[in-house]
A and B are shown apart, each in its own frame.
Chain A
Amino acid sequence: MTTADTFQPVLESLDAEAITTPSESLWRATLRRLLRRSSAVVGLIILGTLLLMAIFAPLIAPYDPEQVLIGIEDVRRREKPCIHLLGCPEDRPQHIMGLDGNVRDLFSRVIYGSRFSLFIGFATVGFAIVVGTFLGATAGFFGGWIDNVIMRIMDVLLAFPALLLAIAIVAVLGPGLINALLAIGIVSIPSYARVMRASVLTVKEQDFIAAERALGASTLRILISNVMPNALTPLVVQGTLGFATAILDAAALSFLGLGAQPPTPEWGSMLGTERNQIFTSPHLVFFPGLMITLTVLGFNLLGDGLRDALDPRLARRSG
């Protein structure tokens, strides 16, 4: 193989027009395909609502989520929901989701809880994507012993059940929301590293990479501007689905008392602290549980939709 043989065609494909136009329309096409899937649209609606809820929490929530209403209103602990529209007497203070075990408005807590859940999702997935992408790309691109060392460490991480490993990490770091985030982040690194490495392995063998190299581009430049964009598709899907897992894991850690600490209105801990009241005050576990379910469902629907929309084979079939 001579340089001249491969140089000419690759140069053509490197033409700026040819590269940017299809890639822009790829995302636009993806969005179009995504919106055509009703399940993905449902996911988007759920997540959009959630996002609005988180952003405008102080406007939506009628009470401070940490305010104890003893002595402020004539209410009892764990009072059932009171909604004026549904026939609750007007002289009673309205609590759409009732009151929790510490006489706080459950609705306000659930609303504020969306902030924590979304934050947990963003923080852990962000952390895991950055670290995982870096590790996976390094391993895939350089190969050899570097690949071996990194991927074996990832294998070790994967060998543990994720939640158990997270619990172990929190046990070492001490309970708390930030430590729980860190633990879940660490636990989810391997999946991103694997996805990234696999993409890099397929991309790096392609001719245009060889051309870049022949043109004298540095390894880092090739990695960032050529390999990364091409590996992005599976990462986006993995990341969206990872949101759901991260939120679920964080809720589980909080449920066990290892995550968010009281009085933080986190859904998992709200569920955990009132779990014994499931028969006497079901509203206290129903609403936080429902919110966790909806959020996870939203991310899963969106993730599935994205995967289908980004899949070129499916794309061709559906036009």
Chain B
Amino acid sequence: MSRKAIMSALGLLIVASMVLAACGGGAPPTEAPPPAETEATAPAQTEAPVAFEPKVLDAGGCDYGGFFKEIAALDERTVQFTLCKSDAAFLSKLAFSVFSIYPSEWLEANAGSTEALEHPIGTGPYMVDEWVRGESLVFKRYDDYWGQKAVTDTLVFRWSTEGAARLTELRAGTVDGIDNPSPDDFDVVRNDPDLQLLIRPALNILYIAMTNTFEPFGDVRVRKAIALGIDRKRIVDNFYPPGSEVASHFTPCQIPNGCVGDPWYDFDPQAARELLADAGFPDGFETTIYYRDVFRSYLPEPGRVAEELQAQLRENLNIKANIVVMESGEFIAESTAGNLDGIYLLGWGADYPHVTNFLDFHFGKANPQFGDPFPEIYEPLQAAAQIADPDEAAPLYEQANNAIRELVPMVPVVHGASAVAYRADVTGAQASPLGNEYFAVMDPGGRSTFVWMQNAEPISLFCADETDGESLRACEQVTEALYAYEVGGTAVQPALAEVCEPNEDLSVWTCTLREGVKFHDGSTLDANDVVTTFTMGLDAASPLHIGNTGAFEYYSYLWGLINAE
């Protein structure tokens, strides 16, 4: 016991003396000292009017398998991210609203409380005024916003699960904009002079997956036969709203390097039947089509598309397929673990607009959802992820896309469009490809309140621990991250950070924070807020790591949690 106490005292002494030595030399602390604890203390800078004690989140090396080695506040306005591996998509991920910055004092006082879940404090153009659960969510303008202030005094979120009900409200003029009018109503909206319809670009993909560890899908000829024998255009023309595109590649073309390489096969049932006969199935075979009955813009009518696929397999390839509907959670668990023995219908929507979000996730070495991963695909992907310049990485993505086309782990079908409808007098209206409509720039014909109606009520407004798009959209009006996606687009631009500069091999990023940014509670943004926010999300051992459910799924999935069990 006493030896341990002496050792830790000695450790502290060494740390303190090193810090003193560094500061005494007059040089600014470029690197935080290797601390014994996660939070090191530094003496107050003599020039600063208020003492600033830079915080550090130290993962204790990279052995935990995550993404960050260290996140350190260097001074009030500088944060340094040290990564375990270089990442070209770092800024794209950082701009995701889940990683919005909260004030550290507020986090420490409110972590996990109802206050945090319902009245988050951020830096955004709107602040939460009142949330009447089950009814509406009211925001009011934040007058000290650092950027362009919101046009309307008040922003109201309402929700209704029925597309027809949302449209009724819009036509009655009780709301100014609605999400996802039903595809059947697109023409109604278009033909109404009081309304405008904006098609949301499709940053998603529906694919027909086959698990190659189950026969007969182990044979590439069978998989290729299915790729050739399905008339994808017929599916898209008949079951998807206008604006949807037959997928030429797995990744949508709006994403840089998404569709380099040869486009997907054309429909050719004759060649498909020959391939199937070559593989030893001249009379087809029996299989199962699995899907979950959940609406997504990449799969607006799951049951109808499954039946269409069943009919096509029967007509074009003589494959008899039974249809099995699975419960959503079970379906995701079973399909992503590679346990489904037939064909399954699944899709993917972009979390952040980068090709790695599509390809690396699905075709990476660790993903068993299509059976045994193919080195022909994941090796170029691994190499490409190390390269920041999209043009330089293009040949590798081309190689990966061509390998996907050749090996057919799945058949990409469609990038499904959805839409947003507004009243005709709304200016600045957008349909964002990432689903993050930004209401601060919208002017509802001079009215002082903008009313928005979406599919569902937010789950909570503490979006660090949410994954649901309906919640994220609400949070995006209130909180901001270091970077942001351009309004109505996917390009990444600085937000709370003025700039983040990488080092040579993209493994250390130094971000300079914007000056004079104030949170809704009046406190000023500093580097410690950034470190505390990331500590809250990443460090499973932190007392702040409570959130709503405590899962912190995006922190976990994109970065990897520190001190996780």
Contact = CB atoms under 8 A, between A and B. Distances in A.
Interface stretch (B89-97, B302-310, B493-501): B302-310
Contacts of B182: 280
Interface in A74-116: 77-78, 101-103
B307 A102 contact: yes
Contact of A262 (B164, B184, B238, B303): B303
Given A70-B234, A273-B303, A280-B184, A102 B164 contact: no
Interface in B222-245: 234, 238-239
B109 interface: no
16 contacts: A66-B311, A68-B311, A68-B315, A70-B234, A77-B238, A78-B184, A102-B308, A102-B311, A103-B238, A257-B325, A262-B306, A262-B307, A262-B323, A263-B311, A273-B303, A280-B184
Interface in B183-209: 184
Given A70-B238, A101-B301, A280-B164, A263 B307 contact: yes
Contacts of A319: none
Contacts of B164: 279-280
A262 B308 CA distance: 10
Closest 4 CB pairs of A and B: A101-B304, A68-B311, A262-B307, A102-B307
Contacts of B306: 262
Nearest to A102: B307
B189 to A, nearest CB: 14
B542 interface: no
Given A77-B239, A279-B164, A68 B323 contact: no
B558 to A, nearest CB: 35
A77 B304 CA distance: 10
A71 B237 CA distance: 11
Contact of A71 (B184, B234, B239, B324): B234
A78 B301 CA distance: 13
A261 interface: yes
B234, B303, B322, most chain A CB atoms within 10 A: B303
Contacts of B234: 70-71
Contacts of A280: 164, 182, 184
Interface of A: 66, 68, 70-71, 77-78, 101-103, 175, 257, 261-263, 273, 279-280
Interface in B128-164: 164
B267 to A, nearest CB: 11
A261 B184 contact: no
A77 B351 CA distance: 32
A261 B303 CA distance: 11
A78 B183 CA distance: 13
A66 B306 CA distance: 14
Interface size of B as a range: 10 to 19
Nearest to A281: B184
Interface in B265-301: 301
Nearest to B324: A175
A263 B238 contact: no
A102 B184 contact: no
B310 A262 contact: yes
A68 B325 contact: no
Nearest to B311: A68
B322 A261 contact: yes
A257 B184 CA distance: 24
A71 B311 CA distance: 13
Nearest to A175: B324
A262 B304 CA distance: 10
B239, B301, B311, most chain A CB atoms within 10 A: B311
Interface string B298-342: 000101101110110001000000111100000000000000000
Contact of A68 (B303, B308, B324): B308
A162 to B, nearest CB: 24
A70 B325 CA distance: 24
Contacts of A101: 301, 303-304
A264 B473 CA distance: 41
A66 B310 CA distance: 11
Interface string B28-51: 000000000000000000000000
Contacts of A70: 234, 238
A78 B184 CA distance: 10
A285 to B, nearest CB: 14
A103 B239 CA distance: 10
A261 B306 CA distance: 12
A257 B234 CA distance: 26
A101 B305 CA distance: 9
A108 B239 CA distance: 22
Contacts of A273: 303-304
B182, B308, B324, most chain A CB atoms within 10 A: B308
Contacts of B322: 261
A113 to B, nearest CB: 16
A262 B310 CA distance: 9
Contacts of B323: 261-262
A273 B293 CA distance: 11
A175 B164 CA distance: 32
Nearest to B303: A273
Contacts of A257: 325
Nearest to B305: A102
A318 B416 CA distance: 69
Nearest to B295: A276
A103 B303 CA distance: 13
Contacts of A66: 311
Contacts of B184: 78, 280
Interface in B9-33: none
A279 B325 CA distance: 24
Contacts of A103: 238
Contacts of B301: 101
A68 B239 CA distance: 13
B350 to A, nearest CB: 27
Given A261-B322, A262-B306, A263-B307, 4 more contacts: A66-B311, A71-B234, A257-B325, A263-B311
Nearest to B185: A280
Contacts of B310: 262-263
A258 B182 CA distance: 27
A174 to B, nearest CB: 9
B460 to A, nearest CB: 28
Contacts of B311: 66, 68, 102, 263
Contacts of A262: 303, 306-307, 310, 323
Interface in B373-388: none
Contacts of B307: 102, 262-263
B312 to A, nearest CB: 8
A279 B164 CA distance: 8
A259 to B, nearest CB: 13
B187 to A, nearest CB: 12
Contacts of B238: 70, 77, 103
Nearest to B323: A262
B304 A102 contact: yes
Contacts of A102: 304, 307-308, 311
A71 B325 CA distance: 27
A273 to B, nearest CB: 6
A83 to B, nearest CB: 22
B500 to A, nearest CB: 46
B228 to A, nearest CB: 17
B302 to A, nearest CB: 11
A72 to B, nearest CB: 11
A121 to B, nearest CB: 25
Contacts of B239: 77
Contacts of B308: 68, 102
